[in-house]
């Protein structure tokens, strides 16, 4: 019996228990999130919150392609990078930011559509290494064509507002999670899940695999591009190549898997966990969080495909049982 | 020698074997016949250790073997010639035969055994260094049987050795199986070609839908009405019961 | 541009290609026999390099001599990794097996990389022996001793592997398992043992390549991915059915990169391989040199 990829991980649809509780919680949560910059004055905590939100978008956007549609892409960094590069270039050359952000995401999506059809001919592991090769090729190209560090103009540095960055990341995280949730409730998700489980069988029942893969790919790359644009907005100076680094892909993969691939909550929990662990451990031991996450990741793939979301569900059920037993 | 009790096996959710119990005594040629998909191949694969049973047990000389991995079952002397030959196509005929003698027990005798195998199948002597994939179906079957013999089997199992082979070749193969049997190797044979198999057999079992529905000596089954109708191509005679199989199937 | 410059670059391409070849054969062996894609292969190579570096920096042992320690050490590491991690992956079959092995080895690559960072920090390290700069000159081409040794060792390693696979019982058992593991099991071959041994061999080859790399370039803990990709490129070019055939294709890649560097410019050297790789993956999946 295999693990992560033959398990029918059902999408987390709204459980009918506690009908009013969940939306109420969401509203309270959203209100708190919006108020964070007012409540939190220390820059480094706000920074941490920003990173959590950015990583939520990063993970969720990958989850849409890999978790819902079952296509393990290892080229996610390419879309993040294209979004970042386009946004940064347009913005630092005088253009208004928001249009630059969306043009960046659009550029990423166009790239996805161009390479999508040919690369989707590859299956499974070949798709993974093909997308990895593609992203690396792009990174190498960018490192040669744009080797110089990109720095914001002086007036932007002077007027740097972390709260604005935070709100942008919050909006993006809410949008990404929201779109993922909507997608899961739509008919499209049924097709995608069918393709994920068994592409041939899906085709036999009239589902068009390529169409569903491309749709997932488009949405995924669009939000990855937006995330890249947010990254470009956030950094005062950075090397353009950095946005194409494979570690963006790997972080997205880790977050989604450890959190719970194929669920809405997975990338959210995974991102929070990842950023917090990294932050806490960076004080003592640089990069040891990677070892921890590497181990967790292997455990999830081999033994516990539901990730943290599943662990949470199991704990809840166990709790309910013991209460009932009394 | 081999005792199988209430063996059950499945592929995932698909149950293939329900309740197989049979025996093979030393020196016998036992045959399993039955329609396609009745579980005969699954049975052999389970005995050979390629497949874990759901329940039941398999004993060789009283020792349970159904939990052992395939290579250890080979070490104990049960060797399967699988369906479809399954040669190492990219390797030479000689290498295929040599690999049959991989176990320590067989390795020491491999030079003698090689001569014996080439005596049984002289045509292979000319083709020793040819890539196995380039041989004809019949020659491949010879190599497959030869490879199994190189392992010094006490119980030789063959899965559909006549499949896809010309009648003359089939005859040759079965003569060899008979000779092997005469030399003291116990044989368990699964065959589509019921007539030839039953003529060869000391005893036989009929397997249908994962269950044993009948058993007896080769001669007895050759004369049996149900067997003749279902497997030997005889039309029912007037006045005989035609649907005996229904009563056996509950 | 003189013909000597071109020839010089070609020869260096050959030297580099021999390292690509050894790395690729290691990965190809594991993929061909276990049907498992180990993307942490580059990290094993990197560890080989660091073991060499450590033995050189701390114990002053010549990097080529220390291979007597490095190679068994990496073999052992491969055996351990198979036993504790990959054993759980080889239980699966087909596409799920390959995909899960890719994921698991990805996690492993993160772990290995960061363990090395913990031990050695992320700075660049290099192995400079007393004879590092010296060499012969023939027909106007400079042939450094270190590079010549690299080529010789690579060839010896590949030829040894070839002899082992072709002439020994165990080697043939490994080839048989690669062809049809069930039939191999039916011949009395312990598949678990074959997998263990093969994974160890793959790691050992990565270790050899790593030693060679540490002598040619400076190493950091992050070189793993680039080398895994190169090995993958070579395997895809050679066609996934070939194990030892990956070596000449590795040489080919080295030479192709060198030629492109000569005529197009050194900046896009790494790109050449990746572009050919993508082309082959999409349009000619049996590889440039594979049989259809």
Domains and their CATH numbers in chain C? 3-283 (1.10.3470)
Of C102, C113, C270, the CB nearest to A140: C270
Residue of C nearest to B150 (CA): C187
Distance from CA of B195 to the nearest CA of C (A): 28
Residue of A nearest to C40 (CA): A294
Give dist(CA B125, CA B72) in Å, integer. Answer: 30
Q: Are C232 and C239 in contact (CB under 8 A)?
A: no
Distance from CA of B14 to the nearest CA of C (A): 18
- Given this model, what pLDDT does residue B240 score? 52
Average pLDDT over residues B123-149: 92
Contact list, B91 vs chain C (CB under 8 Å): 172, 175-176, 179
- Given this model, what pLDDT does residue B167 score? 85
CB pairs under 8 A between A and C: 118
List chains adjacent to chain B, taking adjacency as at least 3 C-beta pairs closer than 8 Å.
C
Residue of A nearest to C117 (CA): A287
For residue A88, what are its two tokens? Answer: 């940064």
Q: What are the pLDDT tens digits along chain A (326 aa)?
A: 334 443 444 544 433 444 566 667 777 787 778 777 777 777 788 888 999 999 999 999 999 999 999 899 999 999 999 999 999 999 988 888 899 999 999 999 999 999 887 888 888 888 999 999 999 999 999 998 888 888 888 877 888 888 888 899 999 999 999 999 889 888 888 889 888 888 888 888 888 888 899 999 999 999 999 999 999 999 988 999 999 999 999 999 999 999 999 888 899 999 999 999 888 887 666 678 888 889 999 999 988 888 888 888 888 888 776 555 44
- Given this model, what pLDDT does residue C283 score? 83
Question: First CA to last CA across chain A, in angstroms?
Answer: 36
Residue A151 inside a domain? The answer is: yes
Does residue B244 carry a pLDDT above 60?
no
B188: DSSP letter: E
Of residues C86, C33, C82, C22, the one with CA closest to residue C216: C22
Chain A interface includes C40 (CB < 8 A) = no
pLDDT in tens, C232-279: 999 988 887 788 889 999 999 999 999 888 888 777 788 888 888 888
Chain B interface includes C196 (CB < 8 A) = no
Does residue B225 carry a pLDDT above 80?
no
Q: Which residues of A305-320 are buried (b: 16+ CB within 10 A; e: fewer)?
A: bbbbbbeebeeeeeee
C-alpha torsion angle, residues C99, B91, C198, C126 (rounded to 10): -90
Give dist(CA C233, CA C21) in Å, integer. Answer: 11
- Given this model, what pLDDT does residue C12 score? 92
Does residue C15 carry a pLDDT above 70?
yes
Does residue C281 carry a pLDDT above 90?
no
Contact list, C94 vs chain A (CB under 8 Å): none
Does residue B246 carry a pLDDT above 50?
no
Q: Are C107 and A290 in contact (CB under 8 A)?
A: no
Chain C, 250 to 289: residues with Cβ < 8 Å from chain B are none
pLDDT in tens, B27-38: 899 999 888 888
Of C104, C229, C236, the CB nearest to A136: C229
Integer CA distances (angstroms), C15 to C3, C46, C64, C128, in order:
18, 18, 16, 17
List chains adjacent to chain C, taking adjacency as at least 3 C-beta pairs closer than 8 Å.
A, B
Cross-chain residue pair A121–C96, CB shorter than 8 Å: no
Q: Are A70 and A196 in contact (CB under 8 A)?
A: yes
- Give the predicted TM-score (pTM) of the model: 0.89
For residue A68, what are its two tokens? Answer: 């819902």
Residue written as token pair 């993508």: C278
Specify the higher pLDDT residue, C174 or C143. C174
Give dist(CA B233, CA B196) in Å, integer. Answer: 13
Q: Are B10 and B119 in contact (CB under 8 A)?
A: no
The domain locations on chain B are 2-77+153-248, 86-151
- Given this model, what pLDDT does residue A188 score? 85
Q: Under an 8 Å CB criterion, which residues of B touch C?
A: 48-50, 69-71, 74-75, 79-80, 82, 86-91, 95, 98-100, 102-103, 106-107, 147-148, 151
- Given this model, what pLDDT does residue B248 score? 46
Cross-chain residue pair A132–C114, CB shorter than 8 Å: no
Number of alpha helices (DSSP H) and beta strands (DSSP E) in chain B: 11, 10
CA B62, B68, B69, B75 torsion-angle sign = negative
Helix-helix angle A43-63:A246-259, to 10 degrees: 80
Cross-chain residue pair B71–C185, CB shorter than 8 Å: yes
Cross-chain residue pair C186–B89, CB shorter than 8 Å: no
Chain B interface includes C172 (CB < 8 A) = yes
Chain C, 15 to 34: residues with Cβ < 8 Å from chain B are none
Average pLDDT over residues C208-225: 93
Share of chain B above pLDDT 70, in %: 93
Q: B158: which strand partners?
A: B81, B189
- Given this model, what pLDDT does residue A249 score? 95
pLDDT in tens, C85-142: 999 998 888 778 888 999 999 999 999 999 999 888 888 888 888 887 788 888 788 8
Neighbours of C26 (CB within 10 A): 31
Cross-chain residue pair A291–C110, CB shorter than 8 Å: yes
Q: Are C67 and C153 in contact (CB under 8 A)?
A: yes
Contact list, A286 vs chain C (CB under 8 Å): 117
Pick the residue of C181, C185, C188 with the most B CBs within 10 A to test the interface with B by mutation.
C188
The CATH homologous superfamily for domain B2-77+153-248 is P-loop containing nucleotide triphosphate hydrolases (3.40.50.300)
Cross-chain residue pair B100–C184, CB shorter than 8 Å: no
Question: First CA to last CA across chain C, in angstroms?
Answer: 40
Q: What are phi and psi of A2, to 5 degrees?
A: -95, 175
Chain B interface includes C167 (CB < 8 A) = no
Q: Are C220 and C125 in contact (CB under 8 A)?
A: yes
Q: What are phi and psi of B32, to 5 degrees?
A: -115, 120
Give dist(CA A67, CA A70) in Å, integer. Answer: 5
Of C108, C118, C282, the CB nearest to A298: C108
- Given this model, what pLDDT does residue C1 score? 67
Q: How many CA atoms lie within 13 A of C89 on its CB side?
A: 33
Specify the higher pLDDT residue, B201 or A4. B201
The runs of H, that is alpha helices, within B121-217 are 137-150, 167-182, 194-200
Residue A296 inside a domain? The answer is: no
DSSP string, A165-192: HHHHHHHHHHHHHHHHHHHHHSHHHHHH
Chain B interface includes C92 (CB < 8 A) = no
pLDDT in tens, C28-49: 999 999 999 999 999 999 999 9
Residue A259 inside a domain? The answer is: no
The runs of H, that is alpha helices, within chain C are 3-34, 41-59, 67-81, 87-90, 94-120, 145-167, 169-179, 181-186, 191-216, 224-238, 246-263, 269-283
Contact list, C175 vs chain B (CB under 8 Å): 88, 90-91
Distance from CA of C165 to the nearest CA of A (A): 27
- Per the prediction, chain B carries an average pLDDT of 87
- Given this model, what pLDDT does residue A7 score? 40
Sheet of strand B211-217: strand arrangement: B78-81, B155-159, B186-190, B29-33, B203-208, B211-217
Distance from CA of B55 to the nearest CA of C (A): 21
Number of domains chain A is built from: 1
Residue of C nearest to B83 (CA): C183
Is A92 buried (19+), middle (13-18) or exposed (0-12) by CB count in 10 A? middle
Contact list, A197 vs chain C (CB under 8 Å): none
For residue C115, what are its two tokens? Answer: 């363990």
Return the SS3 of C139. coil
Distance from CA of A272 to the nearest CA of C (A): 19
Distance from CA of B109 to the nearest CA of C (A): 15
Residue of C nearest to B100 (CA): C187
Q: Are A183 and A189 in contact (CB under 8 A)?
A: yes
Contact list, A298 vs chain C (CB under 8 Å): 85, 104, 107-108, 111
Integer CA distances (angstroms), C271 to B191, C126, C282, in order:
58, 25, 16
Cross-chain residue pair C188–B71, CB shorter than 8 Å: yes
Average pLDDT over residues C228-232: 94
Residue of B nearest to C190 (CA): B71
Contact list, B75 vs chain C (CB under 8 Å): 188
- Given this model, what pLDDT does residue C235 score? 92
Q: Are B31 and B201 in contact (CB under 8 A)?
A: yes
Contact list, A288 vs chain C (CB under 8 Å): 114, 118
Contact list, A115 vs chain C (CB under 8 Å): none
Chain A interface includes C95 (CB < 8 A) = yes
Distance from CA of A133 to the nearest CA of C (A): 6
Contact list, C103 vs chain A (CB under 8 Å): 4, 72, 253, 257, 297, 301
Q: B216: which strand partners?
A: B204
- Given this model, what pLDDT does residue C292 score? 46
Neighbours of B250 (CB within 10 A): 5
Chain A interface includes C118 (CB < 8 A) = yes
Contact list, A246 vs chain C (CB under 8 Å): 225
Of C176, C182, C186, the CB nearest to B91: C176
Give dist(CA A63, CA A268) in Å, integer. Answer: 11
Residue written as token pair 């579980």: B39
Distance from CA of B37 to the nearest CA of C (A): 20
Is C171 buried (19+), middle (13-18) or exposed (0-12) by CB count in 10 A? middle
Of B79, B86, B107, the CB nearest to C182: B86
What is the extent of the structural domain holding A97?
41-247
Distance from CA of C166 to the nearest CA of B (A): 10
Return the SS3 of B12. coil
Cα–chain center distance at B136: 21
Integer CA distances (angstroms), B159 to B86, B97, B216, C81, C126, in order:
11, 18, 20, 37, 60
Residue of C nearest to B133 (CA): C179
- Given this model, what pLDDT does residue B62 score? 86
């Amino acid at each position: 019996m295999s693990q992560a990829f033959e398990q029918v991980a059902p999408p987390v649809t709204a459980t009918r228990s506690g009908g009013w509780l969940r939306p109420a919680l969401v509203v309270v949560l959203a209100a708190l999130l919006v108020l964070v910059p007012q409540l939190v004055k220390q820059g480094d905590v706000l920074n941490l919150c920003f990173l959590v939100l950015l990583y939520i978008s990063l993970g969720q956007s990958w989850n849409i392609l890999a978790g819902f549609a079952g296509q393990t892409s290892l080229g996610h960094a390419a879309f993040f990078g294209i979004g970042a590069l386009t946004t940064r270039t347009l913005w630092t050359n005088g253009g208004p930011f928001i249009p630059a952000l969306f043009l960046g995401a659009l550029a990423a999506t166009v790239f996805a559509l161009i390479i999508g059809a040919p690369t989707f001919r590859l299956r499974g592991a070949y798709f993974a290494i093909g997308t990895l090769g593609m992203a690396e090729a792009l990174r190498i190209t960018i490192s040669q064509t744009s080797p110089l560090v990109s720095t914001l103009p002086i007036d932007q540095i002077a007027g740097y507002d972390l709260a604005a960055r935070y709100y942008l990341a919050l909006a993006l995280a809410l949008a990404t999670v929201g779109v993922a949730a909507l997608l899961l409730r739509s008919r499209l998700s049924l097709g995608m899940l069918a393709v994920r489980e068994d592409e041939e069988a899906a085709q036999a029942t009239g589902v068009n695999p390529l169409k569903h893969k491309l749709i997932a790919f488009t949405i995924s790359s669009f939000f990855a591009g937006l995330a890249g644009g947010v990254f470009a907005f956030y950094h005062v100076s950075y090397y353009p190549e950095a946005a194409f680094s494979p570690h963006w892909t790997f972080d997205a993969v880790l977050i989604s898997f450890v959190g719970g691939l194929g669920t809405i909550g997975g990338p959210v929990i995974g991102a929070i966990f990842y950023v917090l662990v990294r932050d806490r451990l960076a004080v003592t031991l640089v990069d040891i969080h990677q070892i921890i996450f590497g181990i967790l990741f292997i455990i999830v793939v081999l033994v516990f495909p539901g990730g943290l979301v599943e662990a949470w569900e199991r704990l809840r059920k166990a709790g309910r049982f013991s209460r009932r037993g009394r | 020698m081999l005792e199988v009790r209430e063996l059950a096996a499945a592929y995932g959710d698909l149950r293939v074997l329900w309740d197989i119990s049979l025996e093979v005594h030393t020196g016998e040629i036992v045959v399993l016949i039955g329609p396609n998909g009745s579980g005969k191949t699954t049975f052999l694969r389970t005995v050979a250790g390629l497949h874990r049973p759901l329940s039941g047990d398999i004993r060789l000389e009283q020792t349970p073997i159904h939990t052992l991995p395939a290579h250890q079952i080979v070490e104990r002397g049960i060797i399967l010639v699988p369906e479809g030959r399954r040669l190492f196509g990219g390797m030479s005929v000689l290498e295929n035969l040599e690999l049959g003698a991989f176990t320590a027990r067989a390795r020491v005798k491999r030079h003698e055994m090689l001569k014996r195998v080439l005596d049984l199948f002289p045509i292979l002597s000319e083709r020793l260094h040819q890539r196995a994939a380039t041989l004809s179906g019949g020659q491949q079957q010879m190599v497959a049987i030869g490879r199994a013999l190189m392992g010094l089997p006490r119980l030789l199992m063959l899965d559909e050795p006549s499949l896809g082979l010309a009648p003359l070749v089939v005859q040759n193969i079965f003569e060899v199986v008979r000779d092997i049997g005469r030399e003291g190797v116990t044989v368990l044979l699964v065959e589509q070609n019921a007539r030839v198999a039953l003529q060869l057999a000391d005893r036989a079992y009929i397997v249908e839908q994962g269950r044993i529905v009948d058993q007896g000596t080769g001669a007895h089954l050759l004369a049996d009405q149900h067997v003749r109708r279902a497997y030997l191509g005889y039309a029912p005679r007037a006045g005989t019961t035609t649907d005996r199989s229904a009563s056996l199937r509950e | 541009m003189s013909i000597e410059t071109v020839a010089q670059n070609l020869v260096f391409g050959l030297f580099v290609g021999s390292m690509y070849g050894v790395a690729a054969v290691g990965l190809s062996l594991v993929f061909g026999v276990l049907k498992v894609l180990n993307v942490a292969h580059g990290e094993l190579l990197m560890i080989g390099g660091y073991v060499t570096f450590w033995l050189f920096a701390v114990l002053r042992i010549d990097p080529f001599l220390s291979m007597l320690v490095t190679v068994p050490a990496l073999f052992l590491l491969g055996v351990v990794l198979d036993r504790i991690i990959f054993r759980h992956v080889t239980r699966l079959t087909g596409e799920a097996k390959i995909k899960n092995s890719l994921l698991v080895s990805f996690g492993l690559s993160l772990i290995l990389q960061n363990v090395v960072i913990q031990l050695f920090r992320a700075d660049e390290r290099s192995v400079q022996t007393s004879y590092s700069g010296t060499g012969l000159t023939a027909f106007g081409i400079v042939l450094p001793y270190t590079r010549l040794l690299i080529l010789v060792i690579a060839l010896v390693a590949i030829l040894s592997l070839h002899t082992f696979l072709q002439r020994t019982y165990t080697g043939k058992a490994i080839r048989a398992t690669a062809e049809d593991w069930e039939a191999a099991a039916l011949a009395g071959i312990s598949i678990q043992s074959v997998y263990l041994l093969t994974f160890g061999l793959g790691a050992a080859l990565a270790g050899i390549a790593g030693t060679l790399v540490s002598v040619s370039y400076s190493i950091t803990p992050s070189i793993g991915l680039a080398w895994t990709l190169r090995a993958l490129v070579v395997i895809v070019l050679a066609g996934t059915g070939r194990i030892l055939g990956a070596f000449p294709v590795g040489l080919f890649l080295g030479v192709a990169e060198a030629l492109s560097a000569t005529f197009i410019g050194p900046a896009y050297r790494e790109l050449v391989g990746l572009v050919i790789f993508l082309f082959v993956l999409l349009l000619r999946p049996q590889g440039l040199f594979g049989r259809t």
